[in-house]
Structure 1
Amino acid sequence: MFAPIPETLDIDLLVLPDTNLILVASVIEPLRVVNRIVGRDLYRWRIFSPDGQAIETKSRIPVPVDGAFRPEKETAPLFVLSSHNWRRNATPALKMALSKTARHRSMVAGIESGTWLLAETSLLDSVRATTHWEDFDDFASAYPQIDMVRERFVIDGKRITTGGSLPTVDLMLEIVRRRQGYSLALEVSRQFIYEQADRRQETSAMPSTGSMRVMDQRVAQAVKLMEEHIDEPLLLARLARRIGLSARHLQALFQESIGVPPHVHYLALRLNAARRKVIESRLPFADIALATGFNSASAFARSYKAHFRESASETRRRLQG
């Protein structure tokens, strides 16, 4: 599932009644954005309910489904989504179906209260896992055989668990990062940027790839400077000096805050800017290279293909028709 390959990944979603609409969107929307950005379906999904009926969400907006959950020997990753009243739907038949299908699935994920259903089916025994913070202590007491950790999401072998809607977005960004690379994951995450009310006079809260935690303010300043200097990239030492830090300290802050060193984030910003110009304009590639801080068209071409697994001309031909 996490292999860095360009093939389409099919995912099955089992959504239980009373699931929050935002939880369903937290799984699907990042994948939809990936498909829109790259111009082809890198991700496809099917949605199932226990009885084949549309899911009545707590917001009273129904979610259409592809059918009832009747798995045979499917190998696609399975995401089990639940928010409220999970026990009402944890029938012996459903638990048996989950137990059987887990033998064949490449991955099984418990999304928010879906973690409880996996635990009830003994699919998390001796596995590191997490769940929603409100339920954490009760869950840990109910299932002492599970190694509970207070994380936003946990990937342990063939099991995934998440602690809520935004942590699920984090998880999906991490999946994209591992499969398609940091540049695309960053571009997807930027579609979900928001500003916190008490920080609007400072700088935008930037969601990081694989973690939606608010950045260290110094990292946020560095990212802002990077975005303002796409065409003439700042050297790390100069960037750090502008913020009042040493280069080594800034390196450490980046690694701690968003999980990559500054040069990786900076290159991703520049390549994403270049890709938008490739798609949205007919500028010569040499001009695009210059506008995004590459010292030659050949250096730009090599970096572009290494990150996006196709040349700039292939991208333009495919998406501009």
Structure 2
Amino acid sequence: MLAPSNEPLDIDLLVLPETNLILIASVIEPLRGANRIVGSEIYRWRIFTPDGAPADTTSRIPVPAHAAFRPEKDRFPLFVLGSYNWRRSATSALKMQLSKTARHRSMIAGIESGSWLLAEASLLDNFSATTHWEDFEEFAAAYPQVRMIRDRFVIDGKRITTGGSLPTLDLMLEIIRRRQGYSLALEVTRLFIYEQGSAQVMPSTAGLRMSDTRVAHAVRLMEDNVEQPIVLARLAKRVGVSARHLQTLFQEGMGVAPHVHYLALRLNAARRKVIETRATFADIAAATGFNSASAFSRSYRAHFSESASDTRKRLRRRTPDANDRPQ
């Protein structure tokens, strides 16, 4: 599931009663966004509940289920989602079902309180894990055989655990980054930008985190200078650090070098122009900081595994109206 691949990935979701709607959305929406951007179904999912009835969310909005959860020999990754009162679902039958299906699943993830159910079924024994920060100490005391780590999400072999809704969003973006690369993960992140006052804020996301104000400043300069990219030395000077220090800050805070992030910004901007406008590729190359159409073409194909012409042919008919931007 975490290796580079453009093959479709199927994921099963076991949703427990009283799960937050936003937790379910934190798993599904990044995948939906990736499908929308790529223009094909690279991610597919099925929703299961313990009894096959619609998932009873805390928002009182039921989520339809594909079927009742049963321990079939599916190898798809299984995500177990829970928010409140998980113990009501922790029946001997369900724990047995989880133990049986774990023999075949390529990956099992405990999403928020789903981690408790996995631990109760002994599926986190001798694995590293995390959970919601409010429950961390209680969890660690209840399951000393689990190596607890204070982090937003933890990936350890065939086990994944998360500490809440936003950490789950971080996890899904990390999965997209590992499978399809930084450019797509960055573009999916754009779907979740929100406004606070007059400034746009990037949500805290794994690999795309901008907790350092100097990194945030550098990224804003990059976004404002897509047509004429700023060289690293000048960018660092405007931020107030050395070029080497800026590289270190990016690597520590975002997991990539500055030039990787800058190129992803420019190529994503180019891709939107390929899909949403009738501009020539030469004009798009110039508008996104490439010194020639051939250089743009090579870089575009290397990042998106298809030519700009192929993208336009495949997705042109999917272009939304100006007032119907994808969300």
| TM-score normalised to structure 1 length | 0.96
- Measure how far apart 1:4 and its partner are: 1.0
Change over 3 Å in CA distance of 1:211–1:260 after alignment to 2? closer
CA distance in structure 2 between the partners assigned to 1:209 and 1:314 by the alignment: 31
1:40-59 paired onto structure 2 within 5 Å: 40-59=40-59
Quick check: 1:117 aligned with 2:117?
Answer: yes
For 1:228, the equivalent position in structure 2 comes to 224
For 1:294, the equivalent position in structure 2 comes to 290
CA distance in structure 2 between the partners assigned to 1:294 and 1:207 by the alignment: 29
CA distance in structure 2 between the partners assigned to 1:316 and 1:163 by the alignment: 40
CA distance in structure 2 between the partners assigned to 1:148 and 1:291 by the alignment: 48
For 1:304, the equivalent position in structure 2 comes to 300
8 Å contact kept, 1:182–1:209: no
- Measure how far apart 1:195 and its partner are: 3.8
CA distance in structure 2 between the partners assigned to 1:149 and 1:40 by the alignment: 36
For 1:36, the equivalent position in structure 2 comes to 36
- Measure how far apart 1:207 and its partner are: 3.0
For 2:309, the equivalent position in structure 1 comes to 313
8 Å contact kept, 2:119–2:125: yes
Q: For residue 160 of structure 2, give the secondary structure of its aligned residue in structure 1.
A: strand
Quick check: 1:147 aligned with 2:184?
Answer: no
Q: For residue 255 of structure 1, give the secondary structure of its aligned residue in structure 2.
A: helix
Q: For residue 116 of structure 2, give the secondary structure of its aligned residue in structure 1.
A: helix
For 1:20, the equivalent position in structure 2 comes to 20
CA distance in structure 1 between the partners assigned to 2:310 and 2:5 by the alignment: 18
Amino acid at match of 2:174: E
Which stretches of structure 1, 4 residues or longer, exceed 6 Å deviation after superposition? none
- Measure how far apart 1:297 and its partner are: 1.1
8 Å contact kept, 2:112–2:162: yes
8 Å contact kept, 2:208–2:255: no
Q: For residue 104 of structure 1, give the secondary structure of its aligned residue in structure 2.
A: coil
For 2:213, the equivalent position in structure 1 comes to 217
Amino acid at match of 1:170: D
Structure 2: runs of 5 or more not aligned: 318-327
Structure 1 vs Structure 2 CA RMSD: 1.2
For 1:164, the equivalent position in structure 2 comes to 164
8 Å contact kept, 1:11–1:77: yes
Change over 3 Å in CA distance of 1:29–1:108 after alignment to 2? same
Q: For residue 111 of structure 1, give the secondary structure of its aligned residue in structure 2.
A: strand
For 2:244, the equivalent position in structure 1 comes to 248
Q: For residue 55 of structure 1, give the secondary structure of its aligned residue in structure 2.
A: coil
Amino acid at match of 1:224: R
For 1:106, the equivalent position in structure 2 comes to 106
- Measure how far apart 1:10 and its partner are: 0.3
- Measure how far apart 1:213 and its partner are: 4.8
- Measure how far apart 1:253 and its partner are: 1.0
**Matched residues, number:** 317
CA distance in structure 2 between the partners assigned to 1:28 and 1:302 by the alignment: 33
- Measure how far apart 1:211 and its partner are: 5.0
Structure 1: runs of 5 or more not aligned: none
Can you list the C-alpha shifts for 1:214-249, whole angstroms capped at 9, x where unaligned? 521111111111011101100000001111111011
Amino acid at match of 1:275: R
CA distance in structure 1 between the partners assigned to 2:93 and 2:58 by the alignment: 24
- Measure how far apart 1:212 and its partner are: 6.8
- Measure how far apart 1:295 and its partner are: 1.1
CA distance in structure 2 between the partners assigned to 1:186 and 1:215 by the alignment: 16
Amino acid at match of 2:283: D
Can you list the C-alpha shifts for 1:169-214, whole angstroms capped at 9, x where unaligned? 0000000000000000000011111244xxx46x532235525755
8 Å contact kept, 2:186–2:208: no
8 Å contact kept, 1:166–1:212: no
